[in-house]
A and B are shown apart, each in its own frame.
Chain A
Amino acid sequence: DAGVIQSPRHEVTEMGQEVTLRCKPISGHNSLFWYRQTMMRGLELLIYFNNNVPIDDSGMPEDRFSAKMPNASFSTLKIQPSEPRDSAVYFCASSPARQGAGELFFGEGSRLTVL
C-alpha cells in the first residue's frame, strides 16, 4: 500500500523565490495535516484539513504561507516569498478519522533550504 507521498524530498532555493510543496494522502483518509519541524521549535502544526476543508490554520506563520486541498488526493503548501527562516523539514500527514483518536500517517518530509 502506498503511504503518504510528498514532493520534492529536497528543495534548495534563494530568498524571495516561491516554493510549492506537494502531498498525496493515503486513499480514503479524510484528514490531512501540514507540520513543520526545526531544531529550535520542534514539530509545529501549521494547518489541517478535514474532507478538503481547512479546519484550523492558526499555526500558519504569516501571510506568506498558504495551503490548499483542491480534492481528496492532493494538497499543496506554498511559501511566497520564501525567507531563510523558512528553512525546515515540512511533513504532510493523513488520518482516517475526524476525531482525535485517529493515527497520523506521515510522509517522509520535504527538506527546504532557503539561502
Chain B
Amino acid sequence: AQSVTQLDSQVPVFEEAPVELRCNYSSSVSVYLFWYVQYPNQGLQLLLKYLSGSTLVKGINGFEAEFNKSQTSFHLRKPSVHISDTAEYFCAVSVYSSASKIIFGSGTRLSIRP
C-alpha cells in the first residue's frame, strides 16, 4: 500500500523568504506524485505533478518540487513567498497501475507573516 507523510503540520515564514514543505512517500511500485493547494473555503487545486522525466518539476505561482527516488521525497519549494501563498498544501501519490486512486497527505498549513 502507498502512503504519504507530510512532516510539518504548520510552517510560518516571513514574506519574501524562501520556503520548503516536506513530503515523503512509501510505495513498493512506481508512483506519480502531486502537490495540491487549498485556499480557505475552497476545494483543492493542482500546483504541480511528477509523472516521469526530469526530477525537477515547475508548477504554478512560482512553486517547484524535486523528486528524489532514493530519499522517497517530493519536497515543495518557493524562493520567495507572498501573502497570497497563505494556504494549506497537500502532497499526494498515485500508483501507475491503479485506476486513479490518489492518496493525500495530512497537509501543511503555510502562514505568511508580513
Interface residues of A (CB under 8 A from B): 4, 31, 33, 35, 42-43, 45, 48, 50, 55-56, 91, 93, 95, 97-104, 106-109
Contact = CB atoms under 8 A, between A and B. Distances in A.
A43 B94 contact: no
Given A43-B107, A103-B46, 20 more contacts: A4-B43, A31-B100, A33-B102, A42-B105, A45-B101, A48-B101, A50-B100, A91-B43, A93-B43, A99-B99, A100-B31, A100-B94, A100-B96, A100-B98, A100-B99, A100-B101, A101-B51, A101-B94, A103-B49, A106-B44
A95 B98 CA distance: 14
B71 interface: no
Contact of A108 (B31, B43, B49): B43
Interface residues of B, number: 26
Contacts of B101: 45, 48, 55-56, 100
Contact of B100 (A4, A91, A102): A102
Contacts of A106: 43-45
B86 interface: no
- A-B pairs, top 10 by smallest CB distance, nearest first, are A100-B94, A106-B43, A43-B104, A42-B106, A31-B100, A106-B44, A103-B46, A100-B32, A101-B32, A101-B51
Interface string B60-100: 00000000000000000000000000000010001110111
